[in-house]
Amino acid sequence: MIVGIGMDVCSVERYERMVERHPGVVARLLNPSERQVPIASQAARFAAKEALAKALGAPAGMVWLDSEVVRAGHGQPSFELRGTVAARADELGITRVHLSISHDAGLACAYVVCEG
């Protein structure tokens, strides 16, 4: 059963300007491994976390670093959930989270489907 769906679109240029103006924001949004990818991929990971928050009902108090976009050996993206994000997923009975991310033509987008 689908418990939640979320999607987000992020302008790569706008994300890059935000990072240039406020360099410390990246450490609050992205985990160390997520910070190592090119700027367009960082924007896609930011969009993924926004989409996940929407799929979880965007509850107050969720910590950005409690979700991490990781890639399987074959390249498929997925989330590692912990702390506040894992607690919300458990509260909703979510047993599986599907993630699709992409970036092209200056836009990064992400879709999340949560199953329970």
Tokens of 95: 């047993």
Phi, psi of 23 (to 5 degrees): -55, -30
Residue-wise pLDDT for 40-95, tens only, equals: 999 999 999 999 999 999 888 999 999 999 998 888 999 999 999 999 999 999 99
Residues sharing a CB contact under 8 Å with residue 58, sequence separation 6 or more, in sequence order:
none
- Name the domain count of the chain: 1
SS3 41: helix
Domain coverage including residue 64: 2-115
Q: Average of pLDDT values for 11-40?
A: 95
Question: What is the reported pTM?
Answer: 0.94
CATH of the domain at 19: 3.90.470.20
Sequence letter at residue 71: R
DSSP state of 56: T
Which stretches of 21-115 are assigned E, i.e. beta strand?
Answer: 67-71, 77-81, 96-104, 107-115
- pLDDT of the residue at 74: 85
